[in-house]
Amino acid sequence: MKKIWRHLFTTPAAAGAAAVTLLLIVTAVVCEIHSLSCSSREVLPVWERICTAPYAPPGEGTLLGTDYQGRSVLLRALAGTVPAFKVGIVAGVISVVIGTMLGVCAGFFRGKIDDLTVWLYSTFASMPTLLFILSFALLAGASPELRSFLEKTGAVLHIAPGALAVYLAIGITGWVGLCRVVRAETMKLRESAYVNAARIAGVPSFVIIFRHILPNVRHLTIIYFTLNFGAAVMLEVLAGYLGLGGSGNIPGWGGMIAAGQERLWRGVWWELGAAGALMFILILALNLLGDSLRDALDPRCG
């Protein structure tokens, strides 16, 4: 951890990316707390309240103008950080857990487990991601058992069931790259001297995995989690743009971009511009942060 903090503080790009990411995290937390408070009091959040005339340009009553209902575009764009971070965390955790576990088991045990894992990630890699997300979202709506699970889990996480289905689909498809890298790294670690010594000493395989293998692939999981976070945000925005999911009483950047696109012919550019700019800033910061973490943690980049 000291190496990570030293690298972040001594690299301007990394420090800036970390500061921007932290600022957006604080924004998302504040918006989520406000949303929960408004839900409990049964009042509209600030981003749903009409503040001035519809389609007011930036500077006339609000900093970034208003949408077709007269709601503040700036507040709605800032609220969009909530679904962005939720999909990043949910999908990132799912993809990291699946990719790490499958990669470690395939690289360590080899044989049929390795063959099955290679077949699995080859199959998932060949599937169109957006088509899988669409199919999974439709399946979630058609299956009573899955819909019930999404409703109960979504109530705990404060995520709309449709949005949670999209998040799960993104996580299920995002583990392939990490699995390949972890599998290759585990194969190398499997032949190391300390692993062979533990095996000769009669240490159980799962103890070797948790004591010697997983700590040595931890840097890969951290790097890929950061990079997959940005990819998950882009997929969630794309799904929202196509009308999939839905974020409840919290607006999403995809929906804002889709709505703003329809009004460009009227010269109303600020709704699309605000959502697109915030998405760009977040993903750029996450990519810079991921590159910095790779430089700090991956010995091959040292």
At 241, which CATH number? Answer: 1.10.3720.10
My answer on whether 220 and 157 are in the same domain is yes
Task: Answer yes or no: do 96 and 233 share one domain.
Answer: yes
Q: Are residues 67 and 109 in the same domain?
A: no
Which residue range is the domain that position 214 belongs to?
Answer: 88-246
Closest Cα partner for 104 from 258, 247, 212, 250? 212
163 and 122 within one domain: yes
Find the angle CA(271)-CA(273)-CA(279) to the nearest 5 degrees: 105
Give the model confidence (pLDDT) of 16-36 as tens digits. Answer: 888 999 999 999 999 999 988
Residues 128 and 237 in one domain: yes
Helices and strands, number each (H, E), in the chain: 14, 0
Question: Residues 166, 88: contact at Cβ < 8 Å?
Answer: no
Predicted confidence band of residue 186 (pLDDT cuts 50, 70, 90)? very high
Is there a single domain that holds both residue 99 and residue 241? yes
As a residue count, the chain comes to 302
Give the residue-averaged pLDDT of 183-205: 88
Poorest-pLDDT segment among 63-72, 256-265, 288-297: 288-297
Residues 32 and 50 in one domain: yes
Cβ-count burial of 299 within 10 angstroms (0-12 exposed, 13-18 middle, 19+ buried)? exposed
Q: What is the mean pLDDT of residues 249-265?
A: 84
- Do 126 and 201 lie in one domain? The reply is yes
Domain boundary (223, 246, 269) is at 246
Mark whether 241 and 127 lie in a shared domain: yes
Q: How many domains does the chain have?
A: 2
| Cα–Cα distance measured from residue 250 to residue 44, given in angstroms and rounded to the nearest whole number | 11
Tell me what pLDDT residue 246 has: 65
What per-residue confidence (pLDDT) applies to 302? 47
Q: What is the reported pLDDT for 183?
A: 93
Please give the share of the chain, as a percent, with pLDDT higher than 70: 93
If asked whether residues 104 and 161 sit together in one domain, one would say yes
Does position 110 have pLDDT exceeding 80, yes or no?
yes
Same domain, 257 and 223: no
pTM, to two decimals: 0.86
Confidence check: pLDDT of 300 > 60: no
d(CA 150, CA 244): 15
Q: Are residues 240 and 259 in the same domain?
A: no
- For 113-123, the pLDDT digits (tens) are 999 999 999 98
Residue 211 DSSP class = I
Q: Is the pLDDT of residue 222 over 90?
A: no
